[in-house]
Structure 1
């Protein structure tokens, strides 16, 4: 396929910034229920040392901490107090604390974490829910990105930007601060915990970081595939993602309408025990529809009348061309075109080289494959082959704007870039 006829790489790169940090619980003193007796003893030793200080020394130490870290985080004293509240069960042998003592104790059980120190990759893109004052013909967007920091822990971060009427792209600068949300509610169930999270209105979207908060996510929230879902005029943003506990993976679902409040829910059923699920942007024949990779090799089409339960599906695509002989998977939710559903795929070839291809599915019956790219649309260029995981280009979701597909993509699991694809030229090339 003559790439130059329909695909244009953009000179726009999003790179990880180790200066962006959040505060998170310091181990071994994590949640009280996770503390073994040795850890509790150590936690109490730390508290003993703080309480042995005089009131003036406590105030001086707290002032020094604030002077050192205040400009790096919002509401630090509030974070200190919240952390002390979480540690309450570990401090049972101690008497009452003064407010200043409690704040200083909380500071000792937090640490800074550079959440995107290693990588910023695997993006997806959706229209921004607020298009107020957007110029005619332009479109504001939100990108989600997978960020990796120390210990290979993945979290979810965001960027905003605009596609101009002429198709040119711009990404807004990030704010200096980064913040995690408040946990409003945690619901335990047989498939794991569901959580409801809320950020504050004053926190810029690029400031918001969704960090692992449940046992199933403890080692990472990976590869969120966001889609704007329309259900009879009601629009909700959903994202399937991989929750990684350090021992097992499973698929879970994010729901939001405003990117301020989020609900994270484990998915049920046979398909949920693998990764790489992507939701269609609307129901088909009255049912939800999902593209999934159930066997680590092929792509399947699954229908369900329950958004949270996904059983086995029907084989849709299997490796056919040399650049995808190892496996294929989806690269985000299908995009609705006049011609059908455009499904971006990834293929793995020799030397574990990842490339991005495409298939066109029938709009009314997506089990029918109308066309398929015999060669990749996007493959690692010589300048894009080096990084955390070499020889990989990958995306978790693209978006249509006018006559183009806007394709954010990751380079070697390290940083992210963009390409634009002319829809009409791509359709012609796929048919040929």
Structure 2
């Protein structure tokens, strides 16, 4: 079946680029308190070999390293020194270092990583905090994207772009360079609850990569759902995401004002045990609100007084149509319209095919479902089925601009497409839901914890 006729596909795609690399830690943990004896011993062997070079040989080796890698990264010598600084405990058994020796040692404990070699997908979109240079009647935006490289490790990266008054989209050129965020507090415990990272202000937003930092994130920062949150007239950009350590998951929250510095914190409570939490863009009746999936199938509405703890909740949506019989989930934060809250959802159907639909929730009481799509708005087309994970279309968040919705979405967990949708046409395509149907759902859905790591 073709896509919805009112979907305006853009001639715009974002593909992964294996040539984009970052330098990341190689070898011992950055926190000397977490180094095991074997790591320390091996690191000392490497340091001793470097220290065995005379000054001329060390300078020549460092010059060769810079000639090889300097054009691929910003401030490479500073990165070498920062890595050396992290390893002070290893250095205590050696004599005094020259600056050249420190920089050369640091280079041995870093490696290049192609962070989006495998995939660039699951985008979300928000209005850019800086609207200078926006086209007349248009708007600048920021995309967040999930990038996947070697070992299926997911990180968070960004792009910027514009939507013109006529609805056409463009994405700004991507920088060749890329840099991992650095700790604002260098000695932070990596098993701690809250982490703050930051980027230098002189780089393009497309250079910024938030790579897994804590133990809970060690195998991936997955599917960030950014939303511009109205905090009493001040905009704060927040996103829920999934931290994955290779065995289990936990829901976490990232917050920024400027997309230069970020704070990441775990979410707690019985409603935060699963993937796919999506925050409303403002408080409702004085409380924070979230759409969450606490079980294998259904969507719940959950409230919180403090943003970090989420308990309880009421079931508001369950699989109803064949394209979503396996499960449903969120596709980003609800979008506020005059008619209600527009929530994009994903459904999983036969042969584990993912498709995107939508529902309309009541403006005052979002537990009331007013309308929903009987058929998907977006589904995998024959020409788009192949990729890292076949038969999947997925998004982590859309944005309203005037009378239309900007919908970036991923294809087969590999690359991104873009579409715009007229709000009026979309609402007309949704089927009304009776009050009795909503009541029946509240009585019939029971949460069960999801134990396995679901891709979404």
TM interval, shorter chain, is over 0.9
Moved more, 223-232 or 91-100: 91-100
SS in 2 for 1:12: strand
Aligned 1:100-115 pairs, distance under 5 A: 100-115=100-115
Maintained 8 Å contact 1:29/1:43: no
| 2:31–2:190 Cα contact (<8 Å) kept | no
Distance of 2:198 and 2:329 partners within structure 1: 32
Cα distance change of structure 1 residues 245 and 106 upon mapping to structure 2, 3 Å threshold: same
The alignment yields a C-alpha RMSD, in angstroms, of 1.7
2:300 aligned residue: 300
Q: State the alpha-carbon separation in 1 of the partners of residues 2 and 88 from structure 2.
A: 63
- Within the alignment, does 1:394 sit opposite 2:394 as a pair? yes
Residue 428 of structure 1 is matched in structure 2 by: 428
Q: CA 1:189/1:328 → structure 2, altered by over 3 Å: closer, same or farther?
A: farther
> Partners in 1 of 2:33 and 2:120 — Cα distance?
32
- Correspondence 1:10 to 2:17: no
Unaligned stretches of 5+ residues in structure 2: 433-456
Match of 1:175 in 2: 175
2:78 aligned residue: 78
Offset, 1:181: 1.9
Alignment match, 1:52: 52
Is contact 2:191–2:214 with CA below 8 Å preserved after alignment? no
Query: Is the Cα contact below 8 Å between 1:355 and 1:393 reproduced in 2?
Result: yes
The equivalent of 1:331 in structure 2 is 331
- TM-score normalised per structure 2: 0.92
Find the residue that maps to 1:78 and give its secondary structure: helix
TM-score w.r.t. length of structure 1: 0.97
Q: Give distance in 2, aligned partners of 1:342 and 1:4.
A: 17
- SS class of match (1:5): coil
Greater CA drift, 417-426 or 181-190: 181-190
Distance 1:25 1:191, change over 3 A: closer
CA-CA distance at 1:187 after TM superposition? 9.3
Q: Deviations over 1:352-400 (max 9, x none)?
A: 0000011000000000000010110000000111001000000000011
Q: Give 1:272 deviation, angstroms.
A: 1.9
1:30: Cα distance to partner? 5.0
Can you give the 5+ residue segments of structure 1 that lack an aligned partner in the other structure?
none
The 5 A counterparts of 1:96-135 are: 96-135=96-135
**Separation in structure 1 between the aligned mates of residue 186 and residue 352 of structure 2, nearest angstrom:** 40
Q: d(CA) in 1 for partners of 2:174 and 2:5?
A: 33
**For residues 146-182 of structure 1, what are the alpha-carbon distances to aligned partners after superposition, in whole Å with 9 as ceiling and x for unaligned?**
0001111100000000000000010111111101122
TM-aligned CA deviation for residue 4 of structure 1? 4.4
CA contact (8 A) 2:122 2:395 kept: yes
Q: CA deviation at 1:29?
A: 5.8
Which residue number corresponds to residue 233 of structure 2? 233
Aligned equivalents of 1:13, 1:346: Cα separation in 2: 21
Aligned position for 2:284: 284
Q: Hey, what's the Cα distance between the residues in 2 that align with 1:112 and 1:143?
A: 24
CA distance in 1, matches of 2:101, 2:2: 67
CA offsets 1:314-350 (integer angstroms, 9 cap, x no match) = 0010100110010000000000111100000000001
1:176–1:145 Cα change, 3 Å: same
Q: How much does 1:28 deviate?
A: 4.8
2:354 aligns with 354
* Structure 1 contact 6–423 (Cα < 8 Å) conserved: no
> How many residues of Structure 1 are paired with residues of Structure 2 in the alignment?
432
Shift of 1:132: 1.1
Whole-angstrom distance in 1 between the partners of 2:234 and 2:275: 27
Conservation of the 8 A alpha-carbon contact between 1:29 and 1:40: no
